[in-house]
Amino acid sequence: MEYKKFLNKKQLLLQSSGFEPQLKMNPYLFDWQSDIVKWALRKGKACLFEDCGLGKTLQQLEWARHVNHKTNKPVIIFAPLAVSNQTKLEGKKFGISVNICENQSDIINGINITNYEKIHKYNASVFGGIVLDESSILKNLSGYYRNLIIDNFRFTPYKLACTATPSPNDFVELGNHSEFIGALTYSEMLAMFFINDGKDGNQWRLKKYAKEKEFWKWVCSWAIMLSTPSDFGYDDNGFILPSLKYHEIILPSKNKNKNELFVNVAQTLLDRRKARKESIQTRCEKAAEIVNQTNGQWLVWCGLNAESELLSKIIEESVEITGSQDQKFRITKMLNFAKGKIKCLVTKPKIAGFGMNWQNCNKMIFVGLSDSWEQLYQATRRVWRFGQTQPVDVYIIIDEREGKVLQNIQRKDRQAKHMIKSMVENTAMISIKELKQEKIQDKNKNELQIILPLWIQEN
């Protein structure tokens, strides 16, 4: 066997198991969206890591339409709460029929959608394809939904996962996506590409240079990473974000010791929680003051039940959404907010911070922060996304004792921007080659001809 063929055989790149599209592509797709859908269909099992507002909904619906036609079997989409209804409306706009399901008996031979909470009600063996909308649900290595999805849909022939760019330095999320589509398991990925630097066994870093290049090459054999169309050489027309401005409001603490010249900033998680609970009244009153004195729609994010309850009482024309409410009530209120029928929506990022398109609103408030960068990012991206036409204002209100939380989030935000930039730079050329099926030469690559000694040739 020739040496080059031997090396190709040893490669870990996920082999394509899909097909060429048999139907015409949806005319509503941009050229780059069409190329991505074709690539995902050829791959058969793929992930789309695209920034918010780049049209993942249309892409996944078009992918599902082709898979349904190819297999003559139902395709199911799993999505966060209320996103199912929004996806059905989007599908109607683009001429694609979407069936909302409550259980297995509702399934039709077409494109079906339901929310993740109902996943246990479905028989995976009947589906020709599965789509995970907001697939960051795979993030938790020991999570209930992560394990249920991977185990139940292990043998589904066509798979697609769609989410925004993975969170900073979170290779767990990439590993779980890889395991979902059948590339490498999370453990295999770590063994192949990473070194453990931590005493607790959880500090992993990429092996240097050669392995790092091989890692991103491997990722690009099953995933597309995109922040703007121009990353892949397409036109950014219509996909340029408006300005985003953060307004940090740090309130003086009312619980400061009179004998202290400076406030003691909370250092531990327990101290931060204590400071947050003790400042609920002042933070909520400040948020209400801002909202009540302005026109237009507002999103007000909170983290504690007491915050949510108080905010909904003192903010005029506000509607509160909580986890204990009936699902139909929550869905109706979320959709009404999207239609402009509600002035102010008060809720938590973990309830409505994923999947919803709320470009109709351009103002939001975080009444306190958690240490989760992803929650801040996703909640902000409900309004600051491609399709937003107005500048976006984000207010962050915290007690001065919570300073470490804000610093931690700012640090993670810098890490995230660096990682996203790095991911795009590492994958762009490989992805362009995959998308356009063109052979791109590496300008830095020097090929040398090696002449073997005669005594080796003779043997």
Dist CA 459 CA 454 (whole Å): 9
Task: Report how far apart, in Å, the C-alpha atoms of 2 and of each of 6, 9, 32 are.
Answer: 6, 11, 37
- pLDDT for residue 166: 58
Higher pLDDT, 297 or 214: 297
Band of pLDDT at residue 444, cut at 50, 70 and 90? very low
Predicted confidence (pLDDT) per residue in 166-181, tens digit:
554 567 788 899 999 9
Q: Is the pLDDT assigned to residue 191 strictly greater than 80?
A: yes
First to last CA, the chain: 15
Tens digit of each residue's pLDDT (9 = 90 or more) over 368-427 = 887 777 788 889 989 998 888 999 999 999 888 776 667 777 777 777 777 677 667 767
Burial class (CB in 10 A: 0-12, 13-18, 19+), 458: exposed
Q: Which residues pair with 323 in a beta bridge?
A: none
Strand, coil or helix: 181: helix
Q: Is the pLDDT of residue 157 over 90?
A: yes
Q: What is the pLDDT of residue 165?
A: 61
Nearest CA to 253 out of 224, 274, 268, 229 is that of 274
The answer to whether 252 and 400 are in contact (CB under 8 A) is: yes
CA dihedral 223, 144, 305, 408 (to 10 degrees): -50
Residue 360 scores a pLDDT above 90: yes
What's the confidence (pLDDT) of residue 6? 42
Which one-letter DSSP state was computed for residue 261? S
Query: Pick the residue with more confidence: 260 or 425?
Result: 425
Q: What does the alpha-carbon distance between residue 120 and residue 102 come to, in Å, rounded to a whole number?
A: 11
pLDDT above 60 for 332: yes
What is d(CA 66, CA 446) in angstroms, rounded to the nearest whole number? 42
Tokens representing 295? 């026109």
Looking at residue 172, its pLDDT comes to 78
Kindly give, in sequence order, each residue whose CB lies less than 8 Å from that of residue 410, ignoring residues fewer than 6 positions away.
none
Going by the DSSP 8-state scheme, the letter that residue 231 receives in this structure is G
H-helix segments, 253-384: 269-278, 280-292, 305-314, 327-338, 349-352, 373-380
**Is residue 15 over pLDDT 90?**
no
Confidence band of 132 (pLDDT split at 50, 70, 90): very high
pLDDT computed for residue 19 by the predictor: 94
Question: Who contacts 173 (Cβ-Cβ below 8 Å, separation ≥6)?
Answer: 136, 138, 139, 166, 167
pTM for the whole structure: 0.80
User: What pLDDT is recorded for position 164?
Assistant: 81
- SS3 state at 294: coil
Residues forming a β-bridge with 112: 76, 99
Q: Do the Cβ atoms of 178 and 222 come closer than 8 Å?
A: yes
Query: Which of 67-76, 186-195, 238-247 shows the highest mean pLDDT?
Result: 67-76
Q: What mean pLDDT is reported for the chain?
A: 84
Mean pLDDT of 243-248: 90
Distances (CA, A) of 136 to 77, 172, 301, 361: 14, 11, 20, 24
- Is the pLDDT at 93 greater than 50? The verdict is yes
pLDDT at position 436: 66
Report whether pLDDT(56) > 70.
yes
List, in order of start, the domains of the chain with CATH numbers: 8-238 (3.40.50.10810), 244-412 (3.40.50.300)
Q: Which residues of 29-67 are buried (b: 16+ CB within 10 A; e: fewer)?
A: bbebbbbbbbbbbbbbbbbbbbbbbbbbbbbbbbbbbbb
The 10s digit of each residue's pLDDT in 196-213 is: 776 555 667 778 766 777
Whether 17 shows a pLDDT value over 90: the answer reads: no
> Residue 413's pLDDT is what?
75
Main-chain phi, psi angles of 205, to 5 degrees: -135, 155
Q: What is the DSSP letter of 117?
A: G
